[in-house]
Amino acid sequence: MADRKNKQKSGNAIIRYFRETRVELRKVRWPSRKEAWRLTKVVGLVTLGMAVLLGVMDLFFGWMLRGVISQNVLFMVLGAIVAAALTIATIMVGQVDEA
């Protein structure tokens, strides 16, 4: 008897879920084709820009790390300066978020 009630409740819950989902999807304001294409281009450009930025940063830090590993004093000083700058920037961003 209890199993039958549990099955009935779960079946009703699933049906109710799909009905509510359909009602909510009817309320959605879908973008026009032109707007969707424009937003797709924006996403593509941002993705491309971030890929270039991350690639340049990877090249820079790889170049700097190779210098530090080769025990070049100039690269060690440059690495310390970059590490200090990143630490200060992180602290400053954290303070802005708290305010």
pLDDT of residue 23: 94
The larger pLDDT score, comparing residue 25 to residue 5, is at: 25
Residue 50 falls in which region: left (phi positive, over 0), alpha (psi -120 to 50) or beta: alpha
pLDDT band for position 72 (50/70/90)? Answer: confident
Mean pLDDT across the chain, nearest whole number?
87
Asked whether 83 and 68 are in contact (CB, 8 A), the reply is no
Locate the domains of the chain by residue range.
1-30, 34-99
The larger pLDDT score, comparing residue 9 to residue 94, is at: 94
pLDDT of residue 22: 94
